[in-house]
């Protein structure tokens, strides 16, 4: 009887132990489930973050690829065009979020390297082209000077008026070709190619005018107080500059409108002021003209347009080399005003009018009545230069020609008695800021002059008439040549 309760007790004890073990197992299973659930949740969150990160990375890669395509298809072509035309803008980043990033720095580095490579290659090619042109223009210029000398020799050799007129027209055409070749050579770094002696500024301007078609439209007013002259080394450069500015004025104004030239003298130099009544220039054209006239060292032939317009560029190169100044601005007459300023030190001097009279073709200064020489301004009418004689490089300059005696009040040359009735004036050093002066002569009182007429060595009426007739024929033939003007050349205010 006693074994049954023990068995029951043992069974109960075993059941309790099993229940405890089962409970422990349940608790452990629950913990593992919770941990597994937590790990699953973390894994899901990680996968979501990874997926989002992958999405952002893919978007950034696509944006970078778009920037690289934008660089190749838009920014590099813009850069190439901007190097030739500075006003063309270069586009920036396609996606502004790259601003200041490493990607932006890398793309800018590519642009800088490409720009440096293109600039270096353009400079090398342009230098080679300029060297070739410089050699060619120097040779052609020397040949044209020989042609000019031959034509002038034939003009003095033949007396037939028809032959003289044909030679004059050929000489004028040769002068046009010479001017173009000379300007091109100067742009490419060549020397102007002429040596001259000291020349009156008024004669220089008349000579520059005579190189151009339409010279009869140029009206010169001489307001100089003294017989101002340009020193020998600067005569041809200044003549080239004035010629190109006048060509610009004549080309951009109507054929029936004048171009006025005024010679002014200041305390420290002299100025040649050119005004036209033409179409004028816009602000960007004026800016570009001033850049060319500044004479930049890095001037490229490709900057002169197509076809190249070398007038302002040639003037700018000479301005930089010889130290005078050129300025262009809107004219009060509606066109363009160009001012050539020539400093007195060291480019100007004052010549002795008694020892070397000024050419009768040069406009005389408007001085007060009773002055030493009072004559109205004379418009240039000859198609050949009226400056001091010029010779090619290496040749000695010829002696200045004597001014022929001409009848008539408008072309009256000073009487020989004026040169004989002068007395030397004491030489005084120039004051500070004034032009250098050479020894001059002062007029002697009229009552002291008592020279017999037979001692003046005057020409006969027949000789005077013959000379005047020759001058008239030259003037008429020059005007006839100007009336047969060919189509205009592509020079002008835009990029002369």
Tens digits of residue pLDDT in 456-468? 344 455 565 566 5
**Distances from the Cα of 19 to the Cαs of 9, 10, 27, 175, in angstroms?**
15, 14, 12, 129
Could you give the angle at which helices 76-84 and 102-157 cross, rounded to 10 degrees? Answer: 30
Task: Give the pLDDT score at 85.
Answer: 79
From the list 415, 417, 413, 414, the residue with the least C-alpha distance to 449 is 417
Tens digits of residue pLDDT in 23-82? 776 677 677 777 777 777 777 666 666 666 777 788 888 888 899 999 999 999 999 889
pLDDT at 420 over 70: no
pLDDT at 425 over 60: no
Could you give the angle at which helices 232-251 and 161-187 cross, rounded to 10 degrees? Answer: 100
pLDDT at 301 over 70: yes
Q: What angle do CA 398, 399, 402 make, to 5 degrees?
A: 130
pLDDT at 323 over 70: yes
In the chain, the percentage of residues whose pLDDT exceeds 70 is 66
Task: Give the pLDDT score at 488.
Answer: 46
- Residue 238: pLDDT band (50, 70, 90) is very high
Least confident of 105-114, 325-334, 481-490: 481-490
356/403 Cα distance (integer angstroms): 9
Tens digits of residue pLDDT in 103-133? 899 999 999 999 999 999 999 999 999 999 9
Residue that wins the pLDDT comparison between 210 and 433? 210
pLDDT at 446 over 50: no
* DSSP-based three-state secondary structure for 482: helix
Least confident of 154-163, 199-208, 270-279, 431-440: 431-440
Task: Give the pLDDT score at 8.
Answer: 55
Tens digits of residue pLDDT in 171-186? 999 999 999 999 999 9
Contact 219, 258 (CB under 8 A): yes
Contact 482, 216 (CB under 8 A): yes
- Residue 365: pLDDT band (50, 70, 90) is confident
Task: Give the pLDDT score at 436.
Answer: 55
pLDDT at 149 over 80: yes
E-strand stretches of 54-196: 194-195
Q: How confident is the prediction for the chain on average, in pLDDT?
A: 77
Residue that wins the pLDDT comparison between 138 and 387? 138
pLDDT at 487 over 60: no
Average pLDDT over residues 340-355: 92
């Amino acid at each position: 009887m006693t074994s049954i309760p023990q068995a029951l007790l043992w069974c109960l004890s075993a059941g309790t132990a099993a229940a405890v073990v089962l409970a422990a197992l349940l608790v452990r299973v629950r913990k593992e489930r919770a941990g597994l659930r937590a790990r699953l949740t973390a894994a899901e969150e990680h996968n979501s973050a990874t997926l989002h990160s992958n999405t952002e990375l893919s978007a950034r890669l696509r944006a970078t690829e778009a920037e690289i395509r934008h660089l190749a298809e838009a920014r590099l072509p813009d850069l190439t065009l901007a190097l030739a035309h500075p006003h063309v803008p270069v586009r920036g980043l396609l996606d502004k979020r790259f601003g200041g990033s490493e990607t932006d720095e890398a793309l800018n580095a590519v642009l800088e390297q490409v720009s440096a490579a293109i600039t270096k290659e353009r400079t090398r090619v342009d230098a080679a082209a300029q060297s070739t042109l410089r050699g060619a223009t120097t040779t052609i210029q020397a040949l044209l000077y020989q042609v000019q000398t031959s034509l002038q020799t034939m003009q003095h050799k033949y007396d037939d008026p028809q032959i003289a007129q044909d030679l004059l027209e050929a000489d004028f055409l040769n002068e046009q070709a010479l001017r173009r070749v000379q300007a091109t050579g100067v742009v490419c770094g060549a020397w102007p190619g002429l040596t001259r002696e000291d020349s009156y500024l008024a004669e220089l301007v008349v000579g520059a005018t005579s190189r151009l078609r339409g010279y009869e439209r140029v009206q010169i007013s001489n307001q100089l107080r003294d017989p101002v002259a340009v020193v020998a080394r600067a005569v041809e450069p200044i003549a080239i500059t004035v010629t190109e500015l006048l060509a610009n004025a004549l080309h951009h104004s109507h054929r029936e409108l004048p171009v006025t030239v005024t010679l002014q003298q200041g305390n420290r130099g002299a100025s040649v002021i050119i005004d036209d009544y033409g179409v004028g220039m816009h602000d960007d054209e004026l800016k570009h003209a001033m850049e060319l006239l500044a004479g930049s060292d890095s001037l490229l032939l490709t900057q002169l347009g197509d076809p190249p317009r070398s007038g302002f560029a040639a003037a700018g190169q000479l301005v930089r080399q010889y130290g005078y100044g050129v300025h262009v601005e809107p004219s009060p007459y509606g066109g363009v005003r160009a001012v050539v300023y020539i400093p007195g030190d060291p480019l100007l001097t004052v010549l002795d009018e008694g020892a070397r009279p000024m050419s009768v073709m040069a406009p005389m200064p408007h001085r007060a009545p009773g002055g030493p020489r009072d004559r109205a301004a004379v418009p240039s009418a000859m198609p050949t230069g009226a400056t001091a004689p010029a010779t090619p490089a290496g040749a000695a300059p010829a002696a200045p020609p004597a001014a022929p005696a001409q009848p008539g009040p408008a072309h009256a040359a000073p009487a020989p008695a004026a040169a004989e009735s002068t007395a030397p004036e004491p030489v005084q050093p120039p004051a500070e800021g004034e032009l250098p002066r050479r020894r001059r002569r002062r007029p002697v009182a009229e009552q002291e002059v008592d020279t017999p007429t037979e001692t003046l060595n005057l020409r006969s009426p027949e000789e005077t008439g013959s000379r005047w007739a020759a001058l008239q024929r030259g003037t008429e033939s020059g005007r006839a040549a100007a009336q047969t003007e060919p189509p205009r050349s592509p020079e002008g205010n835009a990029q002369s």
